[in-house]
Amino acid sequence: MSSNTLAPAGRLFRFFPAFSLSLRLAIALPPEPCLFLIYIKFIFLKRGDFSLNGVIEEIFKRYDVRGLYPGQLNDGIAYRAGRAFVQRFKPKTLAVGRDCRLGSEPLSKAFIKGAIGQGADITDIGLVSTDMIYFAVGKYGFDAGCMVTASHNPREWAGFKFCGKGATGISSENGLWDVRDLVASGKFEKPVKKGKLLQMDVLSDYTEKCLSLVDAKKIKPLKVVVDASNGMAAKTLSAIEARLPVKIVKVFFEVDGNFPGHEPNPLNPENVEALKKRVLEEKADLGAIFDGDGDRMLMVDEKGNPVNGSMLTCLIASSLLKKSPGSKILYTPVMSKAVPETIGENGGIPVLERVGHSFIKQRMRKENVLFGGEHSGHFYFRENYFADSGLIAWLVALEAISESGKKFSFLINPFRKYCAIDETNSDVRGKSAKLAEIEKIYAPKAEKTSKLDGFSAYFKGWWFNVRPSGTEDKLRLNLEADSRELMEAKKGELLKTIRA
């Protein structure tokens, strides 16, 4: 058999590493044994009765679990994950929810089966947004929560997000990779008894909680286009719509795990085009877009111009500080300089923390921070168990826009005073060595530097942050300047160094 004949199969099986051994054996055997081996490997894959160390290393990230379904993440792994999570964290009660992805329901069932088998009592809250699982754990006092979702990834992906008691973050720093190692070994303690399964609908309580954090009477009858990305925000927004005076023009509100409208990632400019077009057609006051699991939200103004996470953090912080002057507001090193400036100008105390929901939640709890924002469109609220919520952020933004009595673009323009690049990724094999090289070049010239999250350097008229990806051989560059010309010049200069 020629190498050309094998090439398509090689490309296919790269995405299904669990089959690789069968493929290699099958090439050397007659047809009948080939089919038998592939069949046996498929049965093992479904049951999870084989070594998957390479796959498991790949799908367990720093903050969650994500993989292609069912090639990398399948029911067998989900079953083991349920057992492993309960063995590692010992929750007596565990809330489990899922998004609309095609793999989420079977993975949820398998995870629940494993968790019950290991002794935990499970409350299945069904088809929900990720912020609803955080709410449920905080509100009802569950020991932990599991959301079956791959967030904003393409439809072929599936995954898990976890939280601890009080909706605290779980990551590689505090036990997630212990779960990974247990899943890989398949060795579990014998439980004293099996757990039980309950069902709960939390949608009504969740919408009441969200509405309690704003004064709905102050929200004007704005015309708002909302793109739900065929995801879970369609469910929460439909439940709250009748309680608000706004007219919602719905885009991609059919909950569909195939995501037929577009990929459920609002950070990709292509995915925002339909929203921008509809805002202009409808002559709407603004537009909003959510990701697949509904916890991430970004906006466009009435002219269709993007309103990113930094600008929304400025808007929401300004509004909340009017009600709670002197409070602490959290932001991250990749956000616009306008964010700490706006916090200070409105009487708040800026708190800088590294990117990542676990770090942010931990810091907010430690310092009783009122609100935290990320450039990626995640917004965290003290009154929501320090967890993030796209729906609450949307409501607070509507209240702020209504109270101002101004066009959204006019309200946002003061936060657009700097020119920023989109986060730019570069493939780099020696990430640590390259970061050290960048620091050596730029630190002596900088007015200020920081190593809180990668390396940041601040100069007159511009700043940059370079940080390593936690899961890939990549460096991520964020940069902002007082002018577009300076921004482009410094971007080119830094990318040349990073990619050299």
pLDDT in tens, 219-272: 999 999 999 999 999 999 999 999 999 999 999 999 999 999 999 999 999 999
Distance CA 196, CA 178 (A): 25
Tokens representing 386 are 């320090």
Q: Which CATH number fits domain 308-417: 3.40.120.10, 3.40.50.1460, 3.30.70.260, 3.30.420.40?
A: 3.40.120.10
Distance CA 453, CA 467 (A): 6
Residue 52: its pLDDT value, please?
Answer: 66
Determine contact, residues 452/352, Cβ cutoff 8 Å.
yes
Task: Output the pTM of the full model.
Answer: 0.89
Residue 471: its pLDDT value, please?
Answer: 74
Residue 352: its pLDDT value, please?
Answer: 99
Residue 53: its pLDDT value, please?
Answer: 78
Confidence of residue 470 (pLDDT cuts 50, 70, 90): confident
Distance CA 326, CA 380 (A): 18
Question: Residue 306: is its pLDDT beyond 50?
Answer: yes
Distance CA 373, CA 353 (A): 10
φ and ψ at 223, to 5 degrees?
-100, 115
Distance CA 6, CA 50 (A): 25
Output b/e per residue, 303-340; b: 16+ Cβ within 10 A: ebbbbbbbbbbbbbbbbbbeeeeebbbbbbbbbbbbbb
Distance CA 393, CA 312 (A): 9
Kindly state the average pLDDT of the residues 449-459: 98
Q: What is the pLDDT of residues 4-50, one digit of tens each?
A: 333 333 333 333 444 433 333 233 333 444 344 433 444 444 444 44
Say what percent of the chain tops pLDDT 70: 90
Residue 184: its pLDDT value, please?
Answer: 96
Q: What is the pLDDT of residues 364-418, one digit of tens each?
A: 999 999 999 999 999 999 999 999 999 999 999 999 999 999 999 999 999 999 9
Q: Which CATH number fits domain 419-498: 3.50.40.10, 3.30.460.10, 3.30.310.50, 3.90.1150.10?
A: 3.30.310.50
Tokens representing 444 are 């002596």
Kindly state the average pLDDT of the residues 480-490: 99
Q: Where are the domains of the chain?
A: 3-47, 53-201, 219-298, 308-417, 419-498
3-state DSSP call for residue 95? strand
Domains 53-201 and 308-417 share a fold: yes
Other beta carbons within 10 Å of 264: 33
Choose among 228, 211, 95, 101: nearest CA to 158: 101
Q: How far is CA 82 from CA 111, 118, 313, in A?
A: 4, 8, 36
Kindly state the average pLDDT of the residues 170-180: 96
DSSP per residue, 336-390: -THHHHHHHHTT-EEEE--SSHHHHHHHHHHHT-SEEE-TTS-EEEGGGTTEE-H
Peptide linkage before 70 cis (omega within 30 of 0): yes
Helices H / strands E in the chain, number of each: 18, 22
DSSP per residue, 105-153: HHHHHHHHHHHHHTT-EEEEEEE--HHHHHHHHHHH--SEEEEE--TTS
Higher pLDDT residue, 46 or 305? 305
Residue 39: its pLDDT value, please?
Answer: 39
Residue 9: its pLDDT value, please?
Answer: 37
Tokens representing 216 are 């709905």
Amino acid at 330: L
Confidence of residue 329 (pLDDT cuts 50, 70, 90): very high
Identify the CATH number of the domain defined by range 219-298. 3.40.120.10
Distance CA 304, CA 275 (A): 8
> Looking at the annotation, which residues are catalytic?
151
Confidence of residue 472 (pLDDT cuts 50, 70, 90): confident
Architecture of domain 53-201: 3-Layer(aba) Sandwich (3.40)
Distance CA 67, CA 400 (A): 39
Other beta carbons within 10 Å of 28: 9
Going by the DSSP 8-state scheme, the letter that residue 465 receives in this structure is E
